[in-house]
């Protein structure tokens, strides 16, 4: 945001804000790259300007679950993008169009349900926050 809209030479400041929860995007099928060691989704991130997939694995979690896993696994995106492109071509092939549309619609319904669940969770967290500061709490939530 500009510090002063009348004097743009003053520069700007960055203000970070959460998007409204109704504008959040949820996807059960994103994160299609999975770690071969722990079978968990990898995250996208950048290293020196190049896109990578990363799986961080805290040492404590590995010890508790008896899994040998490095603290971090990084895979360059260009090593997997060809596989992803082939998968997308297969999923959106003309002979699979009806099935793909059905799957996308089912995923959208699941995401809507998950967003509704998130609203209830957010209410419970807000109630717990109010308890922490001593404000009145609604009867719908509890922090058990």
Strands (E), 5-126: 43-47, 50-56, 72-76
Lowest mean pLDDT among 19-33, 54-68, 77-91: 19-33
Q: What is the pLDDT of residue 12?
A: 79
Residue 46 above 90 pLDDT?
A: no
Q: What percent of the chain has pLDDT over 90?
A: 6
Residue 95 above 90 pLDDT?
A: yes
Residue 96 above 60 pLDDT?
A: yes
- pLDDT single digits (tens) 102-121: 988 888 776 666 656 667 77
State the chain's mean pLDDT as an integer. 77
53-56 long-range contacts, Cβ below 8 Å, gap at least 24?
A: 53/77, 53/80
Predicted TM-score (pTM) of this structure: 0.40
Residue 138 above 60 pLDDT?
A: no
16-43 residues labelled b (16+ CB within 10 A) or e (exposed) = eeeeeeeeeeeeeeeeebebeebeeebe
Those residues with Cβ within 8 angstroms of residue 11's Cβ, 6 or more apart along the chain or in another chain = 2, 3
Q: What does the domain layout of the chain look like in residue ranges? A: 29-91, 94-136
Better-scored residue on pLDDT, 135 or 72: 72
């Amino acid at each position: 945001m500009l510090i002063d809209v009348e004097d743009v030479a003053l520069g700007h400041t960055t203000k970070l804000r959460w998007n409204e929860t109704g504008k959040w995007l949820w996807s059960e099928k994103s994160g299609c790259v999975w770690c071969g060691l722990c079978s968990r989704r990898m995250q996208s991130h950048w290293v020196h300007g190049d896109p990578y997939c990363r799986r961080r694995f805290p040492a404590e979690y590995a010890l508790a679950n008896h899994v040998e896993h490095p603290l971090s696994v990084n895979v360059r995106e260009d090593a997997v993008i060809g596989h992803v492109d082939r998968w997308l071509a297969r999923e959106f092939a003309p002979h699979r169009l009806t099935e793909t549309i059905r799957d996308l619609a089912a995923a959208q319904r699941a995401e809507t349900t998950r967003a509704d669940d998130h609203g209830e969770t957010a209410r419970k967290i807000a109630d717990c926050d109010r308890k922490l500061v001593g404000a009145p709490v609604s009867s719908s939530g509890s922090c058990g």
